[in-house]
Amino acid sequence: MALFRQTTWLLWKDLLLEMRRRESLVSMFFFAALLLFLFHFAFEFSTERAAEMAPGLLWLASIFTGTLGLTQLFQAERENHCLEALLLSPVDRGALYLSKFAFHLLLMCLMELFTFPLFGVLFNLDFWRLLPSLGLFAFVGTVGFCVLGTLFSAVTLKARARELLLPLILFPLMIPVILATIRGMEIILRTGELEEALPWLRLLIGFDVIFLTAAFLIFEWVIEA
């Protein structure tokens, strides 16, 4: 109960700060839209090739935009020594991790609610009836991104070139998530069926569960360092 209460209060704090400052959400939205327009000008593909190309481009946009959000994730704590205030308090370090993970997941989901339809419009894709299945893959993949992204955002908190260091560390570790999400979405776009993509979904869920648990347990040492 204490963990839930602390996580809720920390999440409330982050949501309130974001509503007032609008630093992460606005920059993520604009960056995602810009990327999609750039892809629209750079790539032209027929409806037949859409299944191959679309998932990769969508995920590139999500990951780059998500990384932008990760560099801002602990910004409030970096100001005015607020991270020390939290470390001084009896708050469970796991609650701090869970609140940041939940906050970033929420921002990513909001951003993807905007980018998916925009992508469909820009590339003239008829995938609206497949949106629930595609959305499921996107959500589980986004969870995996946020699990690792939150952890490494804390790891690189005091690094000087953290905007460069964070993607350098994070992207190689994201390969299983990227691969599974793109392959799964590709299968859904090609066949229209979720069942054939289930092995990739199981891989994603397994990855999310394992790394969420591991990140929650080791976060105390990461943040104290």
Binding-site size for other proteins (CB under 8 A) equals 27
Smallest distance from the beta carbon of 23 to other proteins, in angstroms? 10
Stretch that binds other proteins, among 10-18, 110-118, 122-130, 206-214 (CB under 8 A): 10-18
Q: CA distances (Å), 205 to each of 58, 69, 96, 109, 139, in order? A: 20, 23, 23, 17, 10
6 touches other proteins (CB under 8 A): yes
Smallest distance from the beta carbon of 69 to other proteins, in angstroms? 17
Residue of 47, 89, 191, 213 that binds other proteins (CB under 8 A) = 89
Residue of 15, 25, 33, 76 that binds other proteins (CB under 8 A) = 76
Q: Closer to other proteins by CB, 94 or 184: give it.
A: 94
Residue of 21, 49, 78, 202 that binds other proteins (CB under 8 A) = 21
The token duo for 165 is 């260091």
Q: Closer to other proteins by CB, 69 or 94: give it.
A: 94
Residue of 60, 82, 205, 218 that binds other proteins (CB under 8 A) = 82
End-to-end CA distance of the chain: 27
78 touches other proteins (CB under 8 A): no
25 touches other proteins (CB under 8 A): no
Residue of 4, 9, 37, 128 that binds other proteins (CB under 8 A) = 9
Q: At what angle do helices 175-191 and 131-155 cross, to 10 degrees?
A: 170
Q: Give the residue among 134, 141, 152 at the shortest CA–CA distance from 208.
A: 141
Residues near other proteins (CB under 8 A)? 2, 5-6, 9-10, 13, 16-17, 20-21, 76, 79-82, 84-93, 220, 224
